[in-house]
C-alpha cells in the first residue's frame, strides 16, 4: 500500500472494511499539517499583501 499521507492510508483501510487504529500521534500529525497549511495560506494571502502596502508607504 503506497500512500502520500496517513489520511489516505486510513481511508483505504476504512473503505476496505479493515480496522483502523487511530493513535494520538496520527491525530496530532494531522492537526499539525492542517495548522501548517493554514499559516502558510495566511502568510501568502494576507500578510504578504499587507507587508507590500507598509513597504510602499
Domain residue limits, the chain: 23-57
Q: Where are the beta strands (DSSP E) in the chain?
A: none
Residue 17 is predicted with a pLDDT of 94
Q: What is the pLDDT of residues 10-22, one digit of tens each?
A: 888 889 999 988 8
From CA 17, how far away is CA 5, in angstroms rounded? Answer: 19
Q: Which helix (H) or strand (E) holds 51?
A: helix 48-56
This prediction has a pTM of 0.61
pLDDT at residue 1 is higher than 60: no
Amino acid at each position: 500500500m503506497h500512500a502520500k499521507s496517513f489520511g489516505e492510508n486510513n481511508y483505504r483501510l476504512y473503505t476496505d472494511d479493515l480496522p483502523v487504529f487511530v493513535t494520538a500521534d496520527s491525530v496530532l500529525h494531522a492537526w499539525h499539517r492542517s495548522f501548517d497549511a493554514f499559516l502558510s495560506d495566511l502568510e501568502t494571502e494576507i500578510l504578504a499583501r499587507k507587508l507590500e502596502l507598509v513597504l510602499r508607504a
